[in-house]
Structure 1
Amino acid sequence: MNMAMPSRLDIIGLSPDSWEDELGIKQAAANVKALIEQEMKNGIPSKRIILGGFSQGGALSLYTFLTTQQKLAGVTALSCWLPLRAALPQGPISGVHRDISILQSQGDYDPLVPLMFGSLTVKKLITLVNPANVTFKTHEGMMHSSCQQEMMM
């Protein structure tokens, strides 16, 4: 539709201690938050909006959810990680985000976003939100892709 897509963030490395593009991540999250605001102006209550994505999109969805002021319906995060996790709170968050449902899914054979990243992400998420609302599913033999089982969740 000839629209600029300035939601780019750079991935520098594939280890837990790799440098992260903080400016790019925050700018991309601001762009998603602007989309949420636009939908709200169009009459969609924020509590009916679900963020979701695969890989980089899933990472952005998780970060945006944790940094927005809007109460969202939930997050679906596939084959991803939690960016800027060290800058997030160390304990439970309060307010509108505490009881949001999060579905996270990861292949156990993913060479790009290893299962370890998904595991570290879910460990962090359950310290931030109600652990009962966090679902983490692994898919045997799945690489950096999706599968029918994942799509049916």
Structure 2
Amino acid sequence: MSSSITRLPPLLFPATARHTATVIFIHGLGDTGHGWAGAVENWRRRQRLDEVKFILPHAPAIPITCNWGMKMPGWYDIHTIDGTPESLRKHEDEAGILASQAYFHDLIQKEIDSGIPADRIVIGGFSQGGAMSIFSGLTAKVKLAGIVALSSYLVLSAKFADFVPKPDVNRQTPVFMAHGDSDQVVNIALGKTSFDLLKGMGYNAEFKVYKGMEHSASLEELDDVEAFLRERLPALGDNEGKSEL
């Protein structure tokens, strides 16, 4: 990872009960972790994710080609955004993608080092963040609890298999992909193609479409993410695991 990249520490939402699970949720291009703080509050409002710590990383400011080279928060450079499935695949910033992948793998490892098992960690994100959650999650060397990818796609798809570790420990890890059918930024065709590629490679992905939703998140979608998190990270209670200590 480039030493010239300046990274702010992530925004943290500590677990409100005993910390037994962690969700890392990654924002999209031009946003910050604060942009998803409201969604985290939404997921926590019914007090069904009390044992979950949420980590909302902030992307570093980097030059973005489609923004006339001006710096903005981004996980990797994007050359063109014109609403076509092909545009986001042009001139993919492999170095930037791999630098961000290393950062997210480090965040995962820090949670493991703090005592949270890998199978109690979910990585997710929106748009560019969702693309990084798929890539970082499926190329992790530890088996995760789940992956969430909203309004996103598979980066480096032509050689994705080259980045998958042996053994491929996340081949059966549930991947929840969601997309609006009116998305003018990340065309739903790219999301569906990415889903089809993952299924074709044997990954445990599902793809849900939200009618009329643009490049954004709806309350229905956020509720579906909450349900996925609850299924993948069920509460263990205060006594779970104490006999093993």
Q: Same fold (TM over 0.5)?
A: yes
Give TM-score scaled by structure 1 length: 0.89
> How many Å separate the matches in 2 of 1:31 and 1:150?
27
> How many Å separate the matches in 1 of 2:200 and 2:129?
22
Q: How many residues align?
A: 149
- Structure with larger Rg: 2
Deviations 1:63-119 (A, max 9, x none): 1012211110110000001100111129xx864112100100000000000111111
Structure 2 residue 139 is the aligned partner of structure 1 residue 67: yes
Match of 1:8 in 2: 75
Matches within 5 A, 1:104-115: 104-115=177-188
Q: Which secondary structure does the structure 1 equivalent of 2:161 belong to?
A: coil
Q: From 191, 204, 215, give the equivalent of 1:144.
A: 215
Deviation at 1:135, TM superposition (A): 1.3
Contact 1:74 1:101 in 2 (8 A): yes
Deviations 1:124-147 (A, max 9, x none): 1102234xx321001111100011
Contact 1:49 1:74 in 2 (8 A): yes
Q: After alignment, is 4-13 or 46-55 more displaced?
A: 4-13
Query: 5+ unaligned residues in a row in structure 1: which ranges?
Result: none
Opposite residue 134 of structure 1, the aligned amino acid is A
Q: Which secondary structure does the structure 1 equivalent of 2:169 belong to?
A: helix
Contact 2:122 2:144 in 1 (8 A): yes
Opposite residue 20 of structure 1, the aligned amino acid is E
Looking at secondary structure, tell me which structure has more helix per residue.
Answer: 1
Identity across the alignment (%) = 36
Call closer, same or farther: CA 1:77–1:51 in 2, change over 3 Å.
same
Q: From 125, 129, 139, give the equivalent of 1:53.
A: 125
